[in-house]
Amino acid sequence: QVQLVESGGGYVQPGGSLRLSCVVSGTTFSSYAMGWYRQAPGKQREWVARIFSAGITYYTDSVKGRFTTSRDSAKNTVYLQMNNLKPDDTAVYYCNTAPSAVWNWGQGTQVTVSS
């Protein structure tokens, strides 16, 4: 059974940075494209970033130039570096496969951006 454990969230002021991690257990994720998703209060979960096994990345327009995703296959971990955070980035962040999420969702990690 695949398990996803996200961490690294927190409370930051606008303009701050956070680095999220997602550890994947129960499978070798090297052949999967992985994605970061987020869900803000009262909104649907949305896709944020995607990284293919070869390292090619894609980002939703609202985070381009501010967020960077990477992966470490040896650690079965995917990362999301978030810089210049804005209040609109406030959400619970999740990882899963991409473009479709095929595994059960983890608990996510809360990111709150506020002054």
Across the chain, the runs of DSSP E, i.e. the strands, are 3-7, 10-12, 18-25, 34-39, 46-51, 57-59, 67-72, 77-82, 91-97, 109-113
Q: What is the pLDDT along the chain (115 residues), one digit of tens a residue?
A: 999 999 999 999 999 999 999 999 999 888 899 999 999 999 999 999 999 998 899 999 999 999 999 999 999 999 999 999 999 999 999 999 999 999 999 999 999 999 9
pLDDT of residue 106: 96
| Residues linked to residue 22 through DSSP beta bridges, in sequence order | 6, 78
pLDDT of residue 28: 81
Which helix H or strand E contains 108, and what residues bound it?
none
- Residue among 78, 59, 85 nearest 20 (CA): 78
Q: What type of residue is 48?
A: V
**62 token code pair:** 């609202």
